[in-house]
């Protein structure tokens, strides 16, 4: 008989977090979803609220959290440039203070803890495809550093807690992921292109669109999370999780136009600072150690994602994403009062 686990998912009302909560419940666990709704949305987990084994708590992980759990998935952090650059200091705090607080909780409860890291730790890579042993090419002072270096520091903290306190950790480096429940205005290429195409607006690419990305469908990624978490004690990662098929951004734009039957034209804008030119994961470790690889082709995943956005954009309730400015102001006031994260 399956032993019901008490599992905490930070960022549980986010794009990835909502799918993870759903899957963990389906597998017979008690799930505590924690989110401050900075970029997450309660709407993403509304369909789970009637489940007696699901609980939602509004909380910012830059503050300590006192709960009893068996496992922790730490997904809390804005993940697209438009969001993490809005309040870069808070992004660093979420990555660093948040990691310290969640690791402190894992230390107290002896919980296994998962860190959602990112391919951004590789920066604009000089090695292609990116393998886990590559140390990256990251600017510590650029506009993306709050996220890139914040995630790198979080990885450092995870491995130091593992070495110093024996905490059982798992670290996944996530490459571009897409699917239903992305926000229409989150600034990522897949959602940008689909929304612009459905509205017959110009599709904006940066530079000539020759830069590459690898796109993993959300359900494939969640499968990778669970396989990594189920690995025997002592297997820590980091492990790349993403789709090794590489596409030029312009190719993606053209495919979206074709699939939506859009009248949109493709227009170019200047490349943003520190934007990586190539991005593709080496997933040999995931294949060999986890027995995992993506199974959903890009066209199939895009069909589901386009259908989601088509339905969402035709609902009168869709509003532009409004960041939680009140919450930001409250955090700034708390910081001025001398907040110190728990060790």
Is pLDDT of 14 > 60?
Answer: yes
Tokens standing for residue 282: 């080496």
Q: What angle do CA 222, 226, 227 make, to 5 degrees?
A: 115
- Residue 1's pLDDT band, with cuts at 50, 70 and 90, is low
Contact 316, 210 (CB under 8 A): no
Catalytic residue chosen out of the listed positions 38, 73, 84, 147: 147
Active site residue 147: yes
Q: What is the pTM of this model?
A: 0.89
In this predicted structure, what is the pLDDT of residue 216?
A: 97
Domain boundaries, the chain: 6-179+218-244+281-295+317-336
Cα distance from N-terminal residue to C-terminal residue, the chain: 37
- Residue 134's pLDDT band, with cuts at 50, 70 and 90, is very high
- State how far the Cα of 246 lies from the Cα of 210, in Å rounded to an integer: 11
- Residue 187's pLDDT band, with cuts at 50, 70 and 90, is confident
- State how far the Cα of 191 lies from the Cα of 206, in Å rounded to an integer: 15
- State how far the Cα of 42 lies from the Cα of 50, in Å rounded to an integer: 13
pLDDT tens by residue, 29-46: 999 999 999 999 999 999
% of the chain with per-residue pLDDT over 90: 76
In this predicted structure, what is the pLDDT of residue 2?
A: 67
- Residue 320's pLDDT band, with cuts at 50, 70 and 90, is very low
Picking from 110, 231, 82, the residue whose alpha carbon sits closest to that of residue 171 is 231
The number of beta carbons lying within 10 Å of the beta carbon of residue 324 is: 16
Is pLDDT of 223 > 50?
Answer: yes
In this predicted structure, what is the pLDDT of residue 334?
A: 46
3-state class of 55 per DSSP? strand
In this predicted structure, what is the pLDDT of residue 322?
A: 42
In this predicted structure, what is the pLDDT of residue 241?
A: 98
CATH of span 6-179+218-244+281-295+317-336: 3.40.50.720
Is pLDDT of 95 > 60?
Answer: yes
């Amino acid at each position: 008989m399956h032993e019901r686990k008490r599992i905490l998912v930070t960022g549980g009302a986010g794009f990835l977090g909502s799918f993870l909560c759903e899957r963990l419940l389906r597998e017979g666990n008690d799930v505590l979803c924690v989110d401050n709704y900075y970029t997450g949305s309660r709407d993403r987990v509304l369909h789970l609220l009637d489940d007696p084994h699901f609980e939602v708590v509004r909380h910012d992980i830059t503050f300590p959290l006192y709960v009893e759990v068996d496992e922790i998935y730490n997904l809390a952090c804005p993940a697209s440039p438009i969001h993490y650059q809005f309040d870069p200091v808070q992004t660093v705090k979420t990555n660093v203070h948040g990691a310290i607080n969640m690791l402190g909780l894992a230390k107290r409860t002896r919980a296994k803890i998962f860190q959602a890291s990112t391919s951004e730790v590789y920066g604009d890579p000089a090695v292609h495809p990116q393998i886990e042993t590559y140390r990256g090419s990251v600017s510590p002072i650029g506009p993306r550093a709050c996220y890139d270096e914040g995630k790198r520091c979080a990885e450092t903290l995870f491995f130091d807690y593992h070495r110093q306190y024996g905490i059982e950790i798992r670290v996944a480096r996530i490459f571009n992921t897409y699917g239903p429940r992305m926000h229409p205005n989150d600034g990522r290429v897949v959602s940008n292109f689909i929304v612009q195409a459905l509205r017959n607006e110009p599709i904006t690419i940066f530079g000539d669109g020759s830069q590459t990305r690898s796109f993993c469908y959300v359900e494939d990624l969640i499968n990778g999370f669970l396989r990594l978490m189920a690995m025997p004690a002592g297997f820590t990662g980091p492990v790349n999780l993403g789709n090794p098929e590489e596409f030029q951004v312009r190719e993606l734009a053209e495919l979206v136009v074709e699939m939506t039957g859009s009248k949109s034209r493709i227009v170019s804008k200047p490349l943003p600072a520190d934007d990586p030119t190539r991005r593709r994961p080496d997933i040999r470790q995931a294949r060999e150690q986890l027995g995992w690889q993506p199974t959903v082709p890009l066209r199939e995943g895009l069909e589901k994602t386009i259908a989601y956005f088509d339905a969402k954009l035709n609902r009168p309730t869709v509003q532009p994403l409004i960041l939680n400015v009140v919450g930001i102001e409250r955090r700034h006031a708390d910081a001025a009062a001398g907040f110190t994260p728990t060790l």
